[in-house]
Structure 1
Amino acid sequence: MSRLPLLLLALLPFAVSAASPDKTCDDARTQLDINECAAHEAEAADTELNAVYRQVMQQLQGQPVAIEKLRAAQRLWIPLRDADIAARYPVGKDEDPRVLYGSMYPMLYSAAKAELTRQRTQWLRATFIDRVEGDL
């Protein structure tokens, strides 16, 4: 018998947890688990932002100036988001964030990133998608 089915069966729990981060979050017991959960939430927020951004860019087809301006705004927003998080949780050049904020620093950083990313997604939707659909 081939070992491949056994290997796939052994990896199934990891595939399920990666595919359903909410389940992993429900089961989070350690700080490491909670940090990973927060990282998954930040990734999910980023994925949603990218999908909405692509949708907006599609709506703006045929409007090269609007596309250029939105691209420029998005390129500026990303470093602004990161600077806002750095201002919320400041870490000096020679400082260790885990010393300053403890083992929950990755969770704090990821949660802030997810929050700001969701706000940006909401703004893009309200400004470009909902407004356009509501105007029709």
Structure 2
Amino acid sequence: MRLAFAALATALLFPLATASAQDCANATDQATMSQCAGKALNDADKQLNADFKEIEKRLADDAGARKQLVAAQRAWIAFRDAECDFQSSGAAGGSIHPMLVANCKAALTNQRLMDFKNYLACEEGDMSCPVPAAE
């Protein structure tokens, strides 16, 4: 009986959760907007990590440059988090605060992604680019 009730509850709630998660463009309640902002940040962060790993792979033969990349990325994360804390400080404690932080972090992460995309698009012999071209 418990199993049947749990299955019924899941069947009834799943479409609601799926519908709200998929309709971020038309979100009207704070919970959905915060969920969508979190998803946008998560998606940007996943891509950033993938590109970071690709850059690390291209720097495999240069331990010094890899160390500088890691230091730069750690400093960038600290900056992003502090900047977003500052930008959202006017709403601290409010229900909108997590959404503002996530939106800020997603925006800055997407900007950083553009840096990484530029590094990954470097041409062979471009001395202004710290990442070797793809083989």
TM-score of the aligned structures, taking structure 1 as reference length = 0.73
- What is the RMSD computed on CA atoms of the aligned residues? 3.0
Corresponding residue for 2:130? none
1-structure distance, mates of 2:19, 2:59: 37
Which has the larger share of helix?
A: 1
Q: Structure 2: where are the runs of 5+ without partners?
A: 127-132
1:85-100 aligned at under 5 Å gives the runs: 85-90=84-89, 97-98=92-93
Structural mapping, 1:24-63, within 5 Å? 24-63=23-62
Aligned-residue offset at 1:63:
1.1
**Among candidates 78, 89, 110, match of residue 102 of structure 2:** 110
Greater RCO between the two (CA within 8 Å, min separation 6)? 1
Task: Return the offset for 1:114.
Answer: 0.1
**Alpha-carbon separation, structure 2, partners of 1:29 and 1:134:** 51
- Quote the residue 1:70 is aligned against: 69
Q: Distance in 1 between matches of 2:48 and 2:125?
A: 21
Shift of 1:12: 5.2
1:80 deviates by 0.8
Decide whether aligned partners of structure 1 residues 61 and 17 sit closer, same or farther in structure 2, where only a CA change above 3 A counts: farther
Q: Which amino acid aligns with 1:63?
A: D
Unpaired runs of at least 5, structure 1? none
Detail structure 1 runs of 4+ shifted over 6 Å in the superposition: none
Number of residue pairs matched?
122
Aligned pair 1:122/2:105, yes or no?
no
Q: Deviations over 1:99-126 (max 9, x none)?
A: xxx4222211111010000111111111
Counterpart of 1:130, as a letter, is: A
Structure 1 residues 133 and 50: alpha-carbon distance in aligned structure 2, compared to 1, 3 A threshold: farther
Matches of 2:92 and 2:47 in 1, distance apart? 28
> Is 1:13 the equivalent of 2:3?
no
User: Aligned pair in 2 of structure 1 residues 17, 47: CA closer, same or farther (>3 Å)?
Assistant: farther
